[in-house]
Amino acid sequence: MTQNKANIAVFVSGGGSNLQALIDAVKTDKLSASISLVVSNQQDAYGLKRAEVEGIPTFVFKSNDYPDIKKASDDLLDRLKEKKINYIALAGYLKLLPKIVVKHFKNRIVNIHPALLPRYGGKGMYGHFVHEAVIANKDTESGVTVHLVDEIYDNGRILEQIKVPVFADDTPDTLAARVLKEEHIIYAKVLDKLIKGKYDLNYE
Ligand code: GRF
């Protein structure tokens, strides 16, 4: 029996190594889905190149290019509907999603964050800023969080976390590399579980 696979849209602003990990997980059947669209707010994001190489449709979404936020939000939602998107995975996407998109995809949008939320989250806490803060605080552990997305940065319900050690001689780069390695493993696993209904989403 053939079963329809879930369609995922991945949103990126930069390099897209997590996007690549998701693409690879689909190819190796670790993620039971199709990546049907890659969206970026940055025309030159390397993540868009990765998508093109794989033959995945892309969409550059810049809300400032529209006369108002409603038209921008409606257009994005229409594109997602057109591609029959069931789930959204934010993978280094540095913008908030429009409210109507968050509402439409309630409990079907995930984000990956390179720290143990609720610490080191919120607006401006991304990339090297996160790892610099962890090191400055002399924390002995950091990690990865995958969480559901709501209308506030890094705020939705946490689905999974993985811890990694922080060593005394770590730089933001060495710590980022250790965390990123785990990101590439956990994200596909969490998405696959979410798609297969393995999280109880019936409570707030
Ligand atoms: C990752 O560290 C992710 O946790 C954060 O942004 C970074 C994106 O990296 N949200 P990449 O573009 O997937 O390489």
Q: Around Cβ 201, how many Cβ atoms within 10 Å?
A: 13
pTM (two decimals): 0.96
Residues annotated as catalytic (active site), given as ranges: 113
Residue-level pLDDT at 97: 96
Residue 191 has, within 13 A of its CA and on its CB side, a CA count of 36
Q: What is the pLDDT of residue 153?
A: 85
Residue 25, H or E segment? helix 17-27
Give residue 123's pLDDT: 87
Q: Whose CA is nearest to atom 9 of ligand 1?
A: 92
CA 51-54-60 angle, 5° bins: 20
Residues of the chain under the 50 pLDDT cut: 1-2
For position 203, what pLDDT does the model report? 65
Q: How far is the CA of 75 from the centre of ligand 1 (A)?
A: 25
Name, in order, each residue with C-beta under 8 angstroms of 190's C-beta and a sequence gap of 6 or more.
Answer: 110, 146, 159, 160
Residues framing ligand 1 (Cβ under 6 A): 12, 14-18, 91-92, 112-114, 180, 183
Query: What is the distance in A from the centroid of ligand 1 to the CA of 155?
Result: 17
